[in-house]
Chains A and B, each alone.
Chain A
Amino acid sequence: MLFHPISIILLLLTFMVQEFIPGLEIAQYATLFLPAVFFFCASVAAPFSMMLVLAFITGFLWDARHLQGVTESMAGVEDWFGTGEDSELGAGRHSLPFGLSIVLFGMLGSLMQGIRPLFKRGRLELPVLMVGVATFLWLLTQFFIITFLRGALHFPSGLWSKMITDTLLAMLASPLIFLLLYSLARVSSYEIKYDGLRYRFDGR
């Protein structure tokens, strides 16, 4: 049962490696979100309960490192423009809530669980595609929630190119992570079993 603790250690390592990954200036600083990609890959290999543990750790650390700092309201500052907030500090009220990424990773991890039998058979086409889908959904959902909290549905021109490049980078990196997980499973004699809903696809 070494597979699970090593997966957690590898997940923690990805947060450290993330700090070394630069952004692509030509694509609005799109980058490879390694912890998220590792989680999506690992959630295919891990059982449901372990996926939840990984989702919690990934979401918690992601928000702790990458969520914008929360601002406290300042007493005694006049509301000059009648916006209902103190003008400079009030901006922080509409940030994403801490813990939201845990929910998103939990839901997307559950989605990834559905392709475990394919991963077990060594088929990587659909898992790689699903990592791309999950990455895109993760980014898009975050943006929709920001929009919902702050109002005014607005999609800047560079947003799509950034999200698509992020997704493509995730799909490029995922086969390597899948191969790493295969090797880890082999070394630790871990057998990937499907214990979710009944699987009806013959997989050939």
Chain B
Amino acid sequence: MKKFNILALLVFVAGLVGVFTFDTAITRQIQSRVLSLLSPFIHSSAAMQNAAESLTEPQVNAAEVMRERDELRVQVERGRIVQQKYNQIIEENAKLRQIVGFQQAAPFKMTAAKVIRRRSSAFWNSLIIDKGSLDGIGTDSPVITSVGLVGKTSILAPRMTEVILLTDEMCRVSAKVEGTLEQGILAGERAALEVRPELHLRFLSRNANINAGASIYSSGEGGIFPPDLLLGRVKRFENREISGEAIVEPAVDFSSLDHVFVIEMQAVVPAPEPPATTKP
């Protein structure tokens, strides 16, 4: 082997050692920079894909579009009324909580985002949405749809975020079974590359009375996901060596996701102390 090659090998190994010593913050920063550098290409590919899909779609009927628009207007109006009632109830609830001295639940903000890319890696179940750190999105924030939990945010770019799907082994959720006291950890399968893979709810009691079809919700105990998000429904229950395990069908159809919402938990502002009453 030439001396120059040996020198090159030594430099390569030194560089490799340097890379392996990167901590989490640096790694995240590098991944974020690379994602933001490639974001124009990801946006362009999404635009091309949309254009190709629109070419293959059947011609849109103008009358049908008008009818759909009218229906949507009615739905928006209904939504506004429900929103007003909801705000009133929230306000009332906050007042009542203050009166009884109950700790206020953390409020959250929802950011609507469009799915622009599905799956781009070898073994991971992920997608990319069109909102990023400039839109106030943070890492490890829950991503939901009206149906249930989709996953959590991972790598952030200014105008783009990668989402790890619930079906991935790396996305784990503390979960509870509806109608029982059973709690466990829900996770996807390793390299589950099917369109709608199964999820596994582990660490349940052996011989737990869990029926097929029971809904699985997040318990809110794990620190990331808020409670009562629908995760899926039990397909079957199996007894393992130490604990029980439920096989769960995800609530969300991940192959047809177009729009999602990112939940950002906001810091709780402590309620002002009531003025001390003075004795006459």
Contact A142 B123 (CB under 8 A): yes
A56 and B12 in contact (CB under 8 A), knowing A16-B41, A29-B119, A74-B223?
yes
Residue numbers of B with Cβ under 8 A of A are: 1-2, 4-5, 7-9, 11-12, 15-16, 19-20, 22, 24, 27-28, 30-31, 33-35, 38, 41-42, 44-45, 48-49, 117-124, 126, 139-140, 154-155, 162, 164, 168-174, 183-185, 187, 189-195, 203, 221-225
B122 CB to nearest A CB, Å: 6
Contact B41 A52 (CB under 8 A): no
Contact A88 B27 (CB under 8 A): no
Contact A69 B139 (CB under 8 A): yes
A67 within 8 A of B: yes
Question: What 9 additional pairs, Cβ within 8 angstroms, besides A29-B119, A103-B16?
Answer: A16-B41, A71-B139, A80-B174, A80-B183, A87-B222, A88-B224, A91-B170, A98-B19, A102-B15
Within 8 A of B (CB), among A92-127: 92, 94-95, 97-99, 102-103, 106
Contact A20 B45 (CB under 8 A): yes
Partner of B193, one of A29, A80, A150: A29
A84 CB to nearest B CB, Å: 12
Contact B222 A86 (CB under 8 A): yes
A6 within 8 A of B: no
A156 and B44 in contact (CB under 8 A), knowing A25-B195, A67-B31, A103-B16?
no
A48 and B5 in contact (CB under 8 A), knowing A65-B34, A65-B35, A154-B190?
yes
Contact A143 B222 (CB under 8 A): no
A118 CB to nearest B CB, Å: 20
For A7-21 the 0/1 string (1 means CB < 8 A from B) is 000000001101110
Contact A69 B28 (CB under 8 A): yes
* Residue of B whose beta carbon sits closest to that of A80: B221
CA distance A33 to B49 in the complex (A): 19
Partner of B154, one of A64, A68, A102: A68
Partner of B45, one of A19, A65, A142, A143: A19
Identify which of A49, A77, A89, A91 gathers the most chain B CB atoms within 10 Å of its CB. Answer: A91
What does DSSP make chain B's interface, helix, strand, loop or mixed?
mixed
A148 CB to nearest B CB, Å: 12
A137 CB to nearest B CB, Å: 13
B18 CB to nearest A CB, Å: 9
A81 within 8 A of B: yes
Partner of A150, one of B15, B31, B38, B169: B169
A72 within 8 A of B: yes
CA distance A81 to B184 in the complex (A): 8
B64 CB to nearest A CB, Å: 28
* Residue of B whose beta carbon sits closest to that of A17: B41
A99 and B34 in contact (CB under 8 A), knowing A52-B9, A69-B139, A158-B193?
no
CA distance A190 to B54 in the complex (A): 46
Residue numbers of A with Cβ under 8 A of B are: 15-16, 18-20, 22-23, 25, 28-29, 33, 47-49, 52-53, 55-56, 60-61, 64-72, 74, 76-78, 80-81, 83, 86-92, 94-95, 97-99, 102-103, 106, 139, 142-143, 146-147, 150, 152, 154, 156, 158-159, 162, 166, 195-196
Partner of B223, one of A16, A86, A94: A86
CA distance A195 to B9 in the complex (A): 14
Hey, which chain A residues are within 8 Å of B35, CB to CB? 65
Identify which of B28, B33, B34, B168 gathers the most chain A CB atoms within 10 Å of its CB. Answer: B34
* Residue of B whose beta carbon sits closest to that of A98: B27
* Residue of B whose beta carbon sits closest to that of A90: B172
CA distance A76 to B198 in the complex (A): 31
B127 CB to nearest A CB, Å: 11
Hey, which chain A residues are within 8 Å of B162, CB to CB? 69
* Residue of A whose beta carbon sits closest to that of B17: A99
A89 and B223 in contact (CB under 8 A), knowing A28-B194, A80-B174?
yes
CA distance A65 to B194 in the complex (A): 23
Contact B190 A147 (CB under 8 A): yes
CA distance A150 to B221 in the complex (A): 23
A61 and B193 in contact (CB under 8 A), knowing A69-B164, A139-B122?
no
The 8 closest A-B pairs by CB, nearest first: A88-B222, A69-B154, A28-B193, A49-B8, A99-B19, A77-B223, A64-B34, A19-B41
